[in-house]
C-alpha cells in the first residue's frame, strides 16, 4: 500500500475517523490504530505487482523487535534502581550491559541476516576467486522486510536511551508498540525517537484547525514532489537511461545523473512530507527529515540536511560513543570514516554501496582536513601542498577507474585527471567569503553529490562502469530531440489548440521539452529559499476562502491521479 494510491485513501479515512471518534477512550483508540498499522505494514510489504504474497514472518519480526526492546529496557531500568555498592554494583552493571547486548545483538542480527547475508556470501566468493580458489557461494532466497532498517534503529534507540538513563521506560506495552509501528513513518521514516513521540501519547489529542491545515498542505506538497518530480521523471527519463547507459550519449547520461539527483530527493522528501502531514492529522508531530540538502556548502552540511533523522541517529549512537572528535586526530578521522561508511552501507548491500560509502567517507575526511588545515603558509608552500594532494587524489582515481571499474586506459587517465582537478579546486577554494564564495561551495558540493550517485542508482557494478565510461568518453553528441518528449502532452496540445493554430507551435515545443523543463523547474524549486514554499505559499493558500482551498486541493488530486504512472514504491522502501 503506497501513499500515492487510492488504496491508501480508502485505508486512511476510516482510521482517521476512528482515531478521533475514540479520542475519549485512549486504550481503544491506541489498539485500533496499532492493528491498522500492522495491516498497513503487511499491505505495503506486498509487491506492487501482486506477484508474491507477503511473508507471514514480516509481522513476526516487527513484533519480535517490539517485545525484545520493551523487555530489555524494563530490565535495564529495574536493575538501575538497585542500591548495591562495590561488587554488587559491578554485578548490576554487568547484568544491565547483558540486557543491552541482547537488544543490540537481537535487532542487528535480524537486520544483518536479511539485508547483508547474500552480499557477504558474494563478497567471500569474489575474494576467494580473486585468490585463485574456485568456490561458488549459495544464494539465499531472502525477501527483505520493508522498513526493517527504520524500525530497527527506532526501537533500538529506545533501549539505549533507557540504558543511558536519559529515558524512563514506557509502562504501557500498548503505547510502546504503537510508537514502534506507527504507520505514517513505519516503512520509510522519518526515524522517530521515543523521547519525541511517547510524551505525545500521554496527552489527550485535540483536533485543531492549525493541524488540519498544516497536515493537508504537507500531504499535497509531498504528493506533488513524489508523483511529478519523482515517479514521472523516473519513468519517462532517468530509468530509461540507467537501464541501458551505453545506448545514450555522454550528455544524456550526465542529464540522467542530474535527473536522478532530483528524483531521489523528490521521492524521499516527498514521502517524508506525506508522513509528517498524515501524522499531523492524527495529532502527532514527527521530526523533519530534509532541509534543502543541495543548498549545502560542504559535504558535512549536506549530511546534516539529508535524511536528518538517520544522520543524527548515527551521530548520537555511533560517532559520539566512539569518541567523536575528542580523541587524537587519527582516532577522530577513523570515527568519522566509520560513521560515514556505515551511513552508506545502511542504504544497500552491494559492491556499489561499498564504493559509494568509501567515496563519501573519504570526502568527509578531506572536508574536515580542508576546514582545519593551517592557511598561514606562503603561497609557494600552499601551492605545492595542494598540487601534491591533487596528484594523490588523481592517481587514486586513476587506479580505481582502471582496476576496479575496468575502464579503458585513456578513460581511466581522463577520470584521474578530472578527479585531481576537482580535488585541487575544492582545496584551493577559500573557506569563507561573500555571496560568490557561497555559491561556489554549493556548486562544488552539489556536483560531488550528483557524480557519486552513479554508484547509488546503478543496479550493478557493470552498469555503473558503463555509465562512467559514457560520461568520461564525452562523445560530443548532443541530446536527441525526442528524449524529453511527453507524448500524451503533445496529443493533448493538438486537440486543445485545434481552434487556435497559432498556439499550436508553442504548445508542441513545450510538450517536446517536457522532461527537460520539469528537470529545470524541480532543480530551481529546490534552490529557492525554504521560506518561499513552506511559509509564503502556505500563508497565501490559507488566506484563501475554505471552498477555494478545497477546490484547489481536489483539482490537484485529479491532476496527480492522471499523472500516476502506476504503483511505484518509494526508493527507500528497499532500505
H/E run at residue 250: helix 250-281
Nearest C-alpha neighbor of 18 from the set 285, 213, 281, 211: 281
- One of 307, 347, 360, 526 is an active-site residue; which one? 347
Output the CA–CA distances (angstroms, integers) from residue 390 to 20, 362, 395, 411, in the order listed.
Answer: 61, 14, 8, 18
With 0-12 CB in 10 A as exposed, 13-18 as middle and 19+ as buried, what is 453? middle
Q: Which three cell numbers mark 193?
A: 525517537
What is d(CA 370, CA 284) in angstroms, rounded to the nearest whole number? 42
- Cα 275 off chain centre by: 14
> Which ranges of 324-378 does DSSP label H, i.e. alpha helix?
329-346, 351-372
Within 10 Å of residue 117's Cβ, how many Cβ atoms?
14
Nearest C-alpha neighbor of 152 from the set 313, 281, 320: 313
Contact 166, 195 (CB under 8 A): yes
Output the CA–CA distances (angstroms, integers) from residue 567 to 1, 43, 45, 46, 561, in the order listed.
Answer: 9, 13, 13, 12, 11
> Which ranges of 146-208 does DSSP label H, i.e. alpha helix?
148-164, 173-181, 194-201
Specify the DSSP class assigned to residue 236: I
339: which residues sit within 8 A by CB, 6+ positions away? 314, 315, 318, 319, 322
With 0-12 CB in 10 A as exposed, 13-18 as middle and 19+ as buried, what is 389? buried
Within 10 Å of residue 572's Cβ, how many Cβ atoms?
21
Output the CA–CA distances (angstroms, integers) from residue 559 to 220, 360, 476, 552, 566, in the order listed.
Answer: 12, 38, 38, 11, 14
For residue 347, indicate whether it is catalytic. yes
Q: Which three cell numbers mark 161?
A: 536511551
Contact 111, 152 (CB under 8 A): yes
Q: Provide the annotated active-site residues.
A: 347
Amino acid at each position: 500500500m503506497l501513499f500515492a494510491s487510492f488504496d491508501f485513501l480508502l485505508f486512511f479515512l476510516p482510521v482517521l475517523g476512528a482515531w478521533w471518534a475514540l479520542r475519549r477512550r485512549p486504550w481503544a483508540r491506541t489498539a485500533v490504530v496499532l492493528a491498522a498499522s500492522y495491516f498497513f505494514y503487511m499491505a505495503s510489504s506486498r509487491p506492487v505487482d501482486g506477484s508474491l504474497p507477503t511473508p507471514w514472518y514480516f509481522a513476526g519480526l516487527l513484533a519480535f523487535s517490539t517485545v525484545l526492546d520493551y523487555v530489555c529496557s524494563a530490565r535495564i531500568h529495574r536493575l538501575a534502581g538497585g542500591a548495591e555498592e562495590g561488587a554488587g554494583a559491578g554485578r548490576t552493571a554487568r547484568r544491565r550491559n547483558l540486557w543491552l547486548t541482547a537488544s543490540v545483538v537481537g535487532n542487528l542480527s535480524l537486520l544483518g541476516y536479511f539485508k547483508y547475508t547474500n552480499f557477504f556470501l558474494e563478497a567471500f566468493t569474489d575474494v576467494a576467486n580473486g585468490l585463485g580458489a574456485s568456490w561458488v557461494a549459495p544464494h539465499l532466497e531472502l525477501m527483505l522486510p520493508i522498513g526493517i532498517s527504520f524500525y530497527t534503529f527506532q526501537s533500538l534507540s529506545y533501549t539505549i536511551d533507557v540504558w543511558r538513563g536519559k529515558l524512563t521506560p514506557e509502562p504501557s506495552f500498548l503505547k510502546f508498540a504503537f510508537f514502534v509501528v506507527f504507520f505514517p513513518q513505519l516503512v520509510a521514516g522519518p526515524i522517530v525517537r521515543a523521547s519525541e513521540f511517547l510524551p505525545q501519547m500521554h496527552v489527550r489529542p485535540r483536533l485543531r484547525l492549525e493541524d488540519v491545515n498544516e497536515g493537508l498542505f504537507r500531504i499535497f506538497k509531498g504528493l506533488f514532489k513524489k508523483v511529478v518530480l519523482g515517479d514521472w521523471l523516473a519513468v519517462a527519463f532517468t530509468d530509461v537511461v540507467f537501464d541501458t547507459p551505453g545506448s545514450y550519449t555522454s550528455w544524456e547520461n550526465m542529464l540522467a545523473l542530474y535527473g536522478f539527483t532530483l528524483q531521489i530527493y523528490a521521492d524521499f522528501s516527498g514521502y517524508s512530507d506525506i508522513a509528517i502531514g498524515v501524522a499531523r492529522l492524527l495529532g502527532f508531530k514527527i521530526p523533519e527529515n530534509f532541509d534543502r540538502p543541495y543548498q549545502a556548502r560542504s559535504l558535512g552540511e549536506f549530511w546534516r540536511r539529508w535524511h536528518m533523522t538517520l544522520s543524527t541517529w548515527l551521530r548520537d549512537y555511533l560517532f559520539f560513543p566512539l569518541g567523536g572528535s575528542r580523541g587524537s586526530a587519527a582516532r577522530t578521522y577513523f570515527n568519522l570514516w566509520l560513521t560515514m561508511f556505515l551511513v552508506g552501507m545502511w542504504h544497500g548491500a552491494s559492491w556499489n554501496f561499498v564504493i559509494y560509502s568509501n567515496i563519501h567517507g573519504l570526502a568527509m575526511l578531506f572536508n574536515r582536513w580542508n576546514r582545519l588545515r593551517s592557511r598561514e603558509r606562503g603561497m609557494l608552500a600552499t601551492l605545492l601542498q595542494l598540487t601534491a594532494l591533487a596528484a594523490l587524489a588523481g592517481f587514486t582515481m586513476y587506479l580505481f577507474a582502471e582496476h576496479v571499474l575496468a575502464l579503458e586506459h585513456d578513460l581511466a587517465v581522463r577520470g584521474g585527471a578530472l578527479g585531481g582537478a576537482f580535488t585541487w579546486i575544492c582545496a584551493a577554494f577559500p573557506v569563507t567569503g561573500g555571496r560568490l564564495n557561497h555559491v561556489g561551495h554549493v556548486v562544488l558540493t552539489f556536483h560531488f553529490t550528483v557524480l557519486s550517485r552513479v554508484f547509488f542508482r546503478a543496479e550493478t557494478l557493470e552498469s555503473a562502469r558503463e555509465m562512467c565510461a559514457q560520461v568520461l568518453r564525452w562523445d560530443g553528441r548532443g541530446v536527441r530531440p525526442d528524449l524529453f518528449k511527453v507524448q500524451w502532452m503533445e496529443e493533448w496540445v493538438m486537440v486543445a489548440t485545434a481552434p487556435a493554430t497559432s498556439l499550436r507551435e508553442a504548445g508542441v515545443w513545450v510538450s517536446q521539452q517536457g522532461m527537460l523543463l520539469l528537470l529545470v523547474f524541480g532543480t530551481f524549486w529546490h534552490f529557492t529559499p525554504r521560506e518561499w514554499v513552506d511559509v509564503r505559499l502556505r500563508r497565501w493558500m490559507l488566506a484563501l476562502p475554505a471552498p477555494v482551498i478545497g477546490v484547489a486541493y481536489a483539482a490537484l488530486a485529479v491532476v496527480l491521479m492522471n499523472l500516476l504512472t502506476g504503483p511505484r514504491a518509494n526508493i527507500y522502501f528497499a532500505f
